[in-house]
Amino acid sequence: MTPRMRLQPEAMGSGLTSQRVRDRLVERLRANGIADERVLEAVRLVPRHLFVDEALATRAYEDTALPIGHGQTISQPWVVARMTELLLQVDPRKVLEVGTGSGYQAAILAALGLEVHTVERIGDLLRSARKRFRQLGLNVRSKHDDGRLGWEENGPYDAIIVTAAAPALVQGLAGQLAPGGMLVAPVGSASAQNLIVLERDRGGTLSQRELEAVVFVPLLPGLVD
């Protein structure tokens, strides 16, 4: 599994979006414990500056979450890398993401060669994300829906990644997890959450562990145009 991406001139960046600046982000992630070289290479390749508003492009390679409109954020690169690294442990082929947002996390997964399905409740964000997938030649399946329901028709998934926080794990999602699969989700209150990893073993038994503290926007009900 080697990350790949079709790079067009605007995806190459310049100045504060240049490859040198991106490489510095990768080194920072490595220094902060991200060890999977495939993930680091995907972060190096995917042009994060194309996933934020032009006015914020010069900040795209800082290790920080940034606003993407509608009160939502593109996740911090370290968190994207960490969750991706966790999911790769089960050697997935098919992944479901809940909370497309900018599309950056989905793009990282697609660049790793995974079959990505993603669901977003805010239509406007989803339309922008789809444009980016097209522009970068990434094959990502997406749907405008309440992701708490998952995406049953295309399941089960080897990995499920939830990128918005809920007070408890969404139980129904575990039902779309294949044997040997892993679900990663931030769980907790608006201000204090932890990453929860839920694994289904080959026999079907579920086990759960709690990892580091993170901050995500909330998982919300209902659809917005």
Taking CB under 6 A as the criterion, the residue among 29, 60, 125, 140 binding ligand SAH is 125
Residue 203: count of CB within 10 angstroms of its CB: 7
Is residue 99 a contact residue for ligand SAH (CB under 6 A)? yes
Looking at residues 188 to 217 of the shown chain, list those that interact with ligand SAH (rule: CB under 6 A).
217
Query: By rule CB under 6 A, what count of residues binds ligand SAH?
Result: 23
* Beta bridge mates, 115: 94
Element (H, E) at 120: strand 115-120
Residue 57's nearest CA partner among 102, 2, 114 is 102
Single out the residue of 28, 115, 146, 211 in contact with ligand SAH (rule: CB under 6 A). 146
Phi and psi torsions of 137, nearest 5°: 70, 30
Is residue 75 part of the annotated active site? The answer reads yes
Residue from 42, 85, 92, 120 that binds ligand SAH (CB under 6 A)?
Answer: 120
Point out the catalytic residue in the list 14, 18, 75, 128.
75
User: What does R_g of the chain's alpha carbons equal in angstroms?
Assistant: 16
Q: Of all helices (H) and strands (E), which one includes residue 104? A: helix 104-111
Please report, as ranges, the residues that interact with ligand SAH according to CB under 6 A. Answer: 72-75, 98-99, 101-102, 104-105, 119-122, 125, 146-148, 163-164, 217, 219-220
Which are the catalytic amino acids? Answer: 75
